Structure 1
Amino acid sequence: MTTPATLRNGRPRVAITGLGVVAPGGIGVKAFWDLLTSGRTATRSISLFDATGFRSRVAAECDFYPEEEGLSPQEIRRLDRAAQFGLVCVRDAIADSGVAGLVPPERIGVSIGSAVGCTMRLEDEYVVLSNGGEKWLVDPAYLVPHAYDYMVPSTIAAEAARAAGAEGPVALISTGCTAGLDSIGHGLRLLYENSADLVIAGAADAPLSPITAACFDAIKATSPDNDDPEHASRPFDLNRHGFVLGEGAAVLVLERLDDARARGARIYGEIVGFASRSNAFHMTGLKPDGREMAEAITVAMAQNGVAPEDIDYINAHGSGTKQNDRHETAAFKRSLGQRAYEVPVSSIKSMIGHSLGAIGSIEVAACALALTHQVVPPTANLHTPDPECDLDYVPLTARDQELDMVLSVGSGFGGFQSAMVVARGSAA
């Protein structure tokens, strides 16, 4: 398929020209891609807190040392782990794009997603303030000066804006597990409406704290396979028992394709469609027919005349819960018809877990790299396919594949369903 010079409504084409990734299994784009293509898993027993007594004691943690990533002692003390992830990704993405100093500050926008904000520091400070939960009436004198920053997720976006020197529109998108996709979608719209010439878009979450683990334990959504953490995340496998919590961040530099070409930028890919829908049904439940996700996929493709046969790879939400896996399998069939049986599908959550709001941006970064390298990442741990998930879920081993157009989807508590279509940069 040849992408037209503009979308059908005359909006400009938008390119991805920079990537920054902090993910389980390695920091930086190269380490991230090496992990995905090797099919290795980064899931392990939780070490960030004492998980004794929890139903699920496995997670995908980042081996992140902020001082080694260039953060100052003041930034390390002041910022929550999620904000630290985001800050490193912003700096790396801007450096990767080579765009620093080329765009006036007032024309730079920021769109950052997060599901749970600064959970880790917020919980830590409450534990201290309440003396381990003993006191209902607390002494504010024990409160650290940055506690307000931990309570308000928008401070992550503000830190990103400061790092980028962005004085244009800045937003924090918090739509649960679709926040990483939705933040990029919002950044896309800022470029469409000419509110910015450059957008720093992505998401960050570091939810590996007792309160988060307890919440997912209560609804039995996370895997209890504590004796085999490396194989606990098993999307589309008949023997899966729930998802594995993760953490991380990814940031993309978005700019108009004409501007990127004019400055000779490397183009990872072009975003050619985005849509989101809600099922207006249940906070955690999904309808089995996948209608709302299918609608998001159909609308995202229609924005630039993408047909089902144009889709060469699907990056699935693939959380590893039976409800989700069957729901999106139905959505792919409903939106793509026969093509759903022909196109490879995979879930990188099998290797890096589910980092809640961050995962959508991490997955778009994976899609951009898949297009760049012409490789489909595998679904790790898929040994016994669920008969109800009867598509080509690329088990265990990465696959060399000609890719011109890929689809990435997300599904979140609250009924949020989002879809994004990304085209190969060299084919743009």
Structure 2
Amino acid sequence: MTRRVAITGIGVLAPGAPGTKGFWETVSGGRPTFRTITAFDPSRYRSRVAAEIDFDPGRYGLTPRQVRRMDRAAQFAVVTAREALAASGRDPGELDPARTGVSVGSAVGCTVSLEREYSVVSDSGRLPVVDPAYASPHLPDYLVPASLAREVAWDVGAEGPACVVSTGCTSGLDAVAHGVEIIREGGADVMLAGASDAPISPITVACFDAIKATSPDNHDPEHACRPFDATRSGFVLGEGAAMLVLEDLDAARARGAHVHAEIRGFASRCNAYHMTGLRPDGAEMAAAIEAALAEARVPAEGVDYVNAHGSGTRQNDRHETAAFKRALGGHAYRVPVSSIKSVVGHSLGAIGAIEVAASALAIDHGLVPPTANLRHADPECDLDYVPVTAREQRTGTVLTVGSGFGGFQSAMVLSAPGRWRR
């Protein structure tokens, strides 16, 4: 019999108030966290706003040696893994190391440290041939994204399966799904699964400037990201991480753990079409949604809330709207939909895991978080995109979706324990 997988611990670092509790208060309150970039001088760039985290690693118990060794994204991953494990009621010392695994998603890996170190060895780009004598001894760690999973595994003492999943902006969703599959197949009893990205750096900002995907509304950072709004101008880059403790549902119940949600279904598709472009019919995302619902054994009418990708770009918003109509039929017009990127920005590979956390918390609290800044609905986005203010309602089943450069489309179904029979 296939094991059922529960979320028993959640750890989140996102812009706004610290920790999982602060994160939920921020997104459910619909309070955007955008500001002019402070991590570097953004004056040369088209888009100069971001959703940054005010992060003091020492406050979260990281030692000076760990801070020197780990990139910012790795620090986020370790801190959120610790919070998730503590919240789950699991004592790291009592875990069976061989039956504990790690699955971390990331789109851009250790970008901040890589860029910093390149600047050092090239003398800020002035040397045509870099001088490795000035390189940090930890530079190889920054080059290899697998260091993210290694750092989490070292920190929690996990000796089971460990990997990094990198599928662009669906990395977080896909990494959580990978953790679910490992438990289902019996490869581990506990998985620390989630994602981390810290992409607010000159190279990343320049990349998105080049394709005009990020918002140029530098004069009004708070309102720069407006998913599904007719006046939208692009997304706002963010940073953050979320890690979840996944375990067998029956085992979780036996030890009296609080179960935030059961992960019932997942599917992923690729449009094999364009690096950044999306077909307007949303066929591939719709196919992923339909497959995820089929695996979950949940009818379209059973979805109580859709946590949208909702990046705030015109093509994504219309693509998603079409996908929801295609996959959910008439129910698409009745189910509430919202995007938390309107509050915490788009943290690339991390956001999918952060959105899984938000979906589980929506089930916990019986609340649909709002789409902040949605005040002028796009007539072509004619679904119930929950504007400005959170909505209280029974939320037993959530569909959360992601869309990534390269054509990746992923969908996951979460439910309250006991909501549906297998």
Same fold per TM (> 0.5)? Answer: yes
Q: Structure 1 residue 170 and structure 2 residue 167: aligned?
A: no
Q: In structure 1, how many angstroms separate the alpha carbons of the residues matched to 2:418 and 2:366?
A: 12
Superposed CA deviations along residues 211-239 of structure 1, whole A, max 9, x for unmatched, are 00000000100000000000001000000
Is the 1:236–1:320 contact (alpha carbons within 8 Å) kept by the matching residues of 2? Answer: yes
What pairs with 1:395-414 in structure 2 (closer than 5 Å)? 395-414=387-406
Q: In structure 2, how many angstroms separate the alpha carbons of the residues matched to 1:95 and 1:55?
A: 41
What pairs with 1:42-81 in structure 2 (closer than 5 Å)? 42-81=33-72
Q: Amino acid of the residue matched to residue 82 of structure 2?
A: R
Superposed displacement of residue 61, structure 1: 0.4
Q: Structure 1 residue 301 and structure 2 residue 293: aligned?
A: yes
**What is the RMSD of the two structures over their aligned residues, measured on CA atoms?**
0.8
Q: Structure 1 residue 266 and structure 2 residue 258: aligned?
A: yes
Aligned to 1:30: 21
Q: In structure 1, how many angstroms separate the alpha carbons of the residues matched to 2:128 and 2:331?
A: 58
Aligned to 2:249: 257
Q: In structure 2, how many angstroms separate the alpha carbons of the residues matched to 1:282 and 1:343?
A: 30
SS at match of 1:408: strand
Superposed displacement of residue 426, structure 1: 6.1
SS at match of 2:173: helix
Superposed displacement of residue 197, structure 1: 0.5
Q: In structure 2, how many angstroms separate the alpha carbons of the residues matched to 1:302 and 1:376?
A: 24
Superposed displacement of residue 427, structure 1: 3.7
Q: In structure 2, how many angstroms separate the alpha carbons of the residues matched to 1:74 and 1:426?
A: 45
Q: Amino acid of the residue matched to residue 42 of structure 1?
A: T
Q: In structure 2, how many angstroms separate the alpha carbons of the residues matched to 1:298 and 1:426?
A: 21
Superposed displacement of residue 136, structure 1: 1.7
Is the 1:103–1:197 contact (alpha carbons within 8 Å) kept by the matching residues of 2? Answer: no
Superposed CA deviations along residues 368-396 of structure 1, whole A, max 9, x for unmatched, are 10000000000000000100000000000
Superposed displacement of residue 103, structure 1: 3.0
Bigger shift: 409-418 or 59-68? 59-68
Q: In structure 1, how many angstroms separate the alpha carbons of the residues matched to 2:400 and 2:292?
A: 10
Q: Structure 1 residue 423 and structure 2 residue 397: aligned?
A: no
Q: Amino acid of the residue matched to residue 44 of structure 1?
A: R
Q: Amino acid of the residue matched to residue 109 of structure 2?
A: G
> Which consecutive unaligned segments of at least 5 residues does structure 2 have?
none
Residue of 130, 133, 136 corresponding to 1:138: 130
Q: Structure 1 residue 245 and structure 2 residue 237: aligned?
A: yes
Aligned to 2:30: 39
Q: In structure 2, how many angstroms separate the alpha carbons of the residues matched to 1:345 and 1:65?
A: 34
Q: In structure 1, how many angstroms separate the alpha carbons of the residues matched to 2:172 and 2:18?
A: 18
Q: In structure 2, how many angstroms separate the alpha carbons of the residues matched to 1:127 and 1:193?
A: 45
Give me the identity figure in percent. 63
Q: In structure 2, how many angstroms separate the alpha carbons of the residues matched to 1:400 and 1:237?
A: 22
Residue of 148, 171, 174 corresponding to 2:140: 148
What pairs with 1:334-345 in structure 2 (closer than 5 Å)? 334-345=326-337
Aligned to 1:203: 195
Bigger shift: 102-111 or 164-173? 102-111
Superposed displacement of residue 102, structure 1: 3.7
Q: In structure 2, how many angstroms separate the alpha carbons of the residues matched to 1:426 and 1:45?
A: 45
SS at match of 1:133: coil
Q: In structure 2, how many angstroms separate the alpha carbons of the residues matched to 1:322 and 1:286?
A: 11
SS at match of 1:41: coil
SS at match of 2:57: coil
Question: Are residues 122 and 161 of structure 1, via their aligned partners in 2, closer, same or farther at CA, if it must alter by over 3 Å?
Answer: same
Superposed displacement of residue 424, structure 1: 1.1
Aligned to 1:106: 98
Aligned to 1:3: none
Superposed displacement of residue 53, structure 1: 1.3
Is the 1:313–1:344 contact (alpha carbons within 8 Å) kept by the matching residues of 2? Answer: yes
Is the 2:11–2:82 contact (alpha carbons within 8 Å) kept by the matching residues of 1? Answer: yes
Aligned to 2:352: 360
Q: In structure 1, how many angstroms separate the alpha carbons of the residues matched to 2:81 and 2:30?
A: 27
Aligned to 1:312: 304
Is the 1:223–1:233 contact (alpha carbons within 8 Å) kept by the matching residues of 2? Answer: yes
TM-score by length of 1: 0.97
Is the 1:372–1:425 contact (alpha carbons within 8 Å) kept by the matching residues of 2? Answer: no
TM-score by length of 2: 0.98
Q: Structure 1 residue 115 and structure 2 residue 107: aligned?
A: yes
Q: How many residues align?
A: 419
